[in-house]
Structure 1
Amino acid sequence: MRAPPEQPRNRQVINAGVPGQNSADGRDRFVHDVLKNQPSVLLLFFGGNDALNPGAFVPLDEYVANMAWMIDQARSHGIVPVVSTILHVDTARLLARHQTERSEDPNEVIDRYNRALLHMAHGKRVRVADFMQALDTAGGPTPEMSTDGLHLTAAGNRLLAQTFFQAMPTEWPRGVVCLGDSLTYGVPLRTAEQDSDETYPAQLKKEFLSRVGGDRSPGPAATTGAP
């Protein structure tokens, strides 16, 4: 039986999301935002901007290389990485607000990026939080889950937090860094003027405080590789 966690409220869950950024930006700030915080777990969630944002496109092979680099860097410093798949979007609502400048359907682009990401992650035996599957199973990026077809409501963030939680190691972490873009930051619920306790990192901490020590068997939305 696992011993109860010690002083859980002193363990940090750091929101290192920056709106508009891509995997190359995450790689550039990896030392500052991840290594300097010395977490035991890294949650990686990039891809929406890489695949769809005209101002932040990253070619598929470079996207995978960036994610692989961050995974390798985390492991070389004793940090357990967990990577999330990219969510499917509500194309009609997304295109009404954001132009992608790609000829393909946005979800076809996302599927290509996810296939490459999963191939790399499985090859490296990395823990995967399959948020694409979890959200699809919950009905997709509906108004209940998504504010604009891409960004998440409180309910969507709760599902993302639960998906990551199920894919994480069972031991209470020394600290968690959530590295990502606007979906990690919490747009539109969190702004520069107003913080929010409904972002996925904030809800992840709530999840730990309410469920650590209980049943942590991975659900269908989580696949695990090496610890």
Structure 2
Amino acid sequence: MSKRVGVRKYLLAISSFLVVACSSNSRQVKVINAGIPGNNSEELLNRIRTGFPLPIPDIAIIMVGTNDMLNTGKMLTYHDYEHNLKLLVAYFQRKGSKVILASPPPIDSIYLFERHDKKDFLQSPNVKLDSVREKARQVSAALKTGFVDVFKEFKNKKIPDHNRDIFIQNPINTGQRDGVHPTAEGARLIARLIAGYIQDNGLCRSGCSIYCLGDSITYGKGLKGEGSTNGETYPAFLSRLLH
């Protein structure tokens, strides 16, 4: 899927969100899928700096880092990733949003290396993602945000399990030699973890607005309703759980 298609769906979702937000009769939780395929933390930061739509959400959920670490055309250093993450958090906190950082899930490197040259990796992909998890945890502690450790929860459940699990797209569960993007069950698990955190901490009352920011994992690449809060994306499951 092209980046242009992703942006177009994102703008359509924004328009739908604004219509709902302007309705005085709507007191449901409002969730918007603001994931763009291919975004790393630098691109996400540039995106919000150059015209992030109003209204600013009550809660901004940021899950970014997979492209920073694994996309050989988008790789950044740990230092640059951490710097961008701090700026992302600061942007939303200045606007009055509560921020939740979520660590990206682990991946099946066997399929990743079919698309990206293994020689470009000085560390294994999941070691890099574990480092991203730790950076996000540190930023969360320093800037007093929420933190949902998706990476740790997946690893504790031994996900991914090559060609066996139902949570990360592979030839057995979806017919895709993917290894990176969650299946519908993977998206559901991410949504349950984030919804649990929001509910346990009383962060979202009736009528609150939530933006799910990130890359193709948030977007829901390959899932029904990709780029929206319908179907099988994690923002879609999150919306239903919070309603």
TM bucket by the smaller chain? 0.7 to 0.9
- Alpha-carbon offset, residue 158 of structure 1: 0.6
Distance 2:211 2:196 in 1: 16
Q: Percent identity among equivalent residues?
A: 26
- Residues 134-189 of structure 1 deviation map (CA, whole Å, 9 limit, x = unaligned): 11223312440010221000110011111111222413262000110000000111
Say which of 57, 64, 72 aligns to 1:39.
57
CA deviation profile, 1:64-94 (whole Å, cap 9, x unmatched)? 1111111111111110000011222112232
Select 2:73's aligned residue among 50, 55, 59.
55
2:166 matched residue in structure 1? 144
Report if the CA contact (8 A) 1:34-1:177 is conserved.
no
**Aligned equivalent of 2:223:** 189
Distance across 2 between alignment mates of 1:120 and 1:193: 27
Residue 160, structure 1, aligned to residue 178, structure 2? no
Q: Given residue 236 of structure 2, which amino acid in structure 1 is its aligned partner?
A: A
Q: Give the C-alpha shift of residue 192 in structure 1.
A: 7.5
Distance in 2 (alpha carbons) for counterparts of 1:8 and 1:136: 37
Moved more, 94-103 or 109-118: 94-103
Q: Which stretch of the first structure deviates more once superposed, 23-32 or 199-208?
A: 23-32
Residue 117 of structure 1 pairs with residue 139 of structure 2: no
Structure 1 residue runs of 5 or longer lacking an equivalent are 1-5, 210-227
The code of the aligned residue for 1:158 comes to R
3-state SS in 2 of match to 1:146: coil
Q: Which of 69, 72, 80 is 2:87 aligned to?
A: 69
- Contact 2:69–2:129 (8 Å) recurs in 1: yes
Q: Which moved more, 1:32-41 or 1:43-52?
A: 32-41
State the secondary structure of the residue aligned to 2:167.
coil
TM-score (norm 2): 0.76
Output the aligned Cα RMSD.
2.4
- Number of residue pairs matched by the alignment: 203
Q: Which residue of 1 aligns with 2:20?
A: none
What amino acid maps onto 1:157 in structure 2? A
TM-score, with length taken from structure 1:
0.81
Q: Runs of 4+ in structure 1 displaced over 6 angstroms?
A: 191-195
Q: Distance in 1 between matches of 2:140 and 2:111?
A: 30
Q: Which runs of 5+ in 2 are unaligned?
A: 1-24, 170-177
1:129 equivalent to 2:148? Answer yes
